[in-house]
Amino acid sequence: MREPYIKDRPDLSQHQLVFDTIEYLNEYNKKDDPNSEIKLIPFIFSNPNALYYFNNKKAPSGEIMTLNYSKSVGVKELGLPDVIPDNYLDLFNDALQPFFDELDKNFTNGLIYLKRYDHHSTYSYLREVFLPKVLPSKKPQDYDVIISAIVAEELGIGDFRQFGFVPTVVEIYTFSDPNYNISWSTIDKGMQRLPNAFLPMIKKENINLKYNSEVYKLEKTDDDKIKVFWNNDGKSFSEIYDRIIVTVPLGVVCHWDLPLTLSYGKRRAIREMDYQLSEKIYLQFKSRFWEKPPSESGANPTTSDAGIVGGETWTDLPIRTIVYPSYYVNISAEKPGILLASYAWHSDALKFGQFSEEELFKLALKDLATIHGDIVYKEWVPGKENNKAKYWQHDKTVGGADYAYFGVGQTESLVGAMMRPEECIHWGGEHTDIHTGWIVGALNSAVRVVREILLDNLMSDKWFELKNTRLLKYWNGNIEVFEDR
């Protein structure tokens, strides 16, 4: 996981709450639990020496193209049809730029403006609104070819047609706001250190965590409380609470027995909200050959003959994205390393669902060898204990998908209903925030739920006291965007 920020502009950094939470936890744990400290290190998001391999095309020299090289040549050399203009990716950025400008002025107001286009998918906006305006001489079928080339490099195949235009704009704005330089950080020794850093506080407050417990029913009592039913180790349990907070993915919640008095809007949101599929395949290697120049390592020659430290290679091969780790900076490339050999979304991810974990390793190695050469077979460390494939559709704890990604019209019709508390049940999680799929979405929803509970209990003074703390200085739950829905 990586976190973006705009240096010296926390007011514009949509993920600032993540960094402020880390600062708060480090201060809290500094005295009694110094081993819980969260250390941030730079994450290298893009690298001009990472590779570009689409349409089975190499440079005329026979070398694998780098990303930097691919940007310097025309569509013919990239293996694309000549109906696609050379600046096709710039066209996509141009289509989104007016919305980025509005979001930069004021994110909440920009989001309200953007919601006017919630009836569009990204595909329909490009095909029906933008491309006919900037390329009026092209035929409608040409627009389809252009959009296909764009989506192959920007998101998962099928994303532009199924998912809404609004979440696409917000997602790409987070990654690449062209008005500012985006910097990236990650957590040293893994993102698990973030949730673990909450444990000292939980223990100190004597909060009872019930692990390995599967909720299956929420029931409203006669005195307007909520009875929660769960299974643990083959036994059933239940307990009554004044209020509960549900942050569980909706693919799990939809199988629960829920109070019959929940509104139609809430039930519709639980039933219909779209989620994104994804898969990751991690492979371990004896050395980090990718960090060496190919002329030294024996890998396939590239147009830069430079090693790759951090960044991502993009390809239309099934593995789709190779993510080079940022954790090994200043460590000899002769040492072992773990490579995220495949990261794919939506219909690209679906194509991996029928394979066993061992088969996925071999498939990833095959595509990796097409790009980097047979050195991948020589350096690979085999065995399930050394490699890992994660296919979220098979994970029952997340309900068959990775994270929420709103479909056409869902930002307008479902998000407000999903956020709204009903029957003493408050709803949180990344799927109840505009920043779906991100830690900040979960944190934003947590603050919103605390606000709901304090205001419902006539404790507005406590809410304003909390809101004015350093921790929440830059919090923006964008509540006014959805509160009337």
Provide the pLDDT for residue 485.
45
Q: What is the mean pLDDT of residues 265-275?
A: 95
pLDDT of 443-454, one tens digit each? Answer: 999 999 999 999
Rounded to an integer, what distance in angstroms lies between the CA atom of residue 220 and that of residue 308? 56
Provide the pLDDT for residue 158.
67
Rounded to an integer, what distance in angstroms lies between the CA atom of residue 207 and that of residue 202? 5
Bridge pairing between strands 214-220 and 337-345: unpaired
pLDDT of 409-443, one tens digit each? Answer: 999 999 999 999 999 999 999 999 999 999 999 99
Rounded to an integer, what distance in angstroms lies between the CA atom of residue 423 and that of residue 257? 14
Is the pLDDT score of 16 beyond 90? yes
Percent above pLDDT 70 for the chain: 99
Q: What is the mean pLDDT of residues 226-239?
A: 96
Q: What is the pTM of this model?
A: 0.94
* Helix, strand, or coil (residue 185): strand
Total residues found in the chain within this entry? 485
Using the Cα atoms of residue 318, residue 321, residue 327 and residue 331 in order, give the sign of their dihedral.
positive
Provide the pLDDT for residue 175.
79
Is the pLDDT score of 162 beyond 90? no
Provide the pLDDT for residue 154.
81
Is the pLDDT score of 180 beyond 70? yes
